[in-house]
Structure 1
Amino acid sequence: MKYFIYFLMLSAVGLMIFSGTLVNPDDLVGDKKSFTGVLGILVCLCIIVLLFILQLSRKLKQKYEE
């Protein structure tokens, strides 16, 4: 499960980089492609934070079960 979480984090980073290529810095919310890129970046950041919390909670669970 640990490696699967790392794989999902890496995939989220890859999707964040891909979404970053769609962003037009001159018009962030007016252009549909740029808006989709910004939303994609925000979603990937949320996913990374949630996976980090999951990883920390699994470590704490393992620590207190011993």
Structure 2
Amino acid sequence: MKYFIYTLIFLAVVFIGISFQAVDLNNLLEGDSGNALIVIAACLCVIVLMSILLVSRTIAKKHK
């Protein structure tokens, strides 16, 4: 399960990199830039949630 979580985090970072290339700083909320910002926000959420899951699993192992 740990490797699956790390794989999801890695894929989220890759998607952030790909989506950041589509962002047009002059028109942030129009066309592909808006979609790219949504993807970046979703990937950041995935990274935060997977980090919380890793920490909670570590804490659970210490209490057993």
TM-score of Structure 1 vs Structure 2, range by shorter chain: over 0.9
Taking only the aligned residue pairs, the percentage that are identical comes to 39
Aligned length: 64
**Counterparts of 1:34 and 1:11, CA distance in 2:** 20
TM-score under structure 1 length normalisation: 0.93
Q: Which ranges in structure 1 are unaligned for 5 or more consecutive residues?
A: none
Q: TM-score, normalised by structure 2?
A: 0.96
Residue type of the alignment partner of 2:54: Q
Segments of 5+ residues of structure 2 without an aligned counterpart are none
Name the structure 2 match of 1:3: 3
Amino acid at match of 2:25: P
Superposed, 1:1-66 pairs within 5 Å as 1-29=1-29, 31-65=30-64
State the alpha-carbon separation in 1 of the partners of residues 25 and 56 from structure 2: 37
Once residues 13 and 33 of structure 1 are traced to their aligned partners in structure 2, the CA distance between those partners, rounded to angstroms, is 19
Query: CA-atom RMSD, angstroms?
Result: 0.6
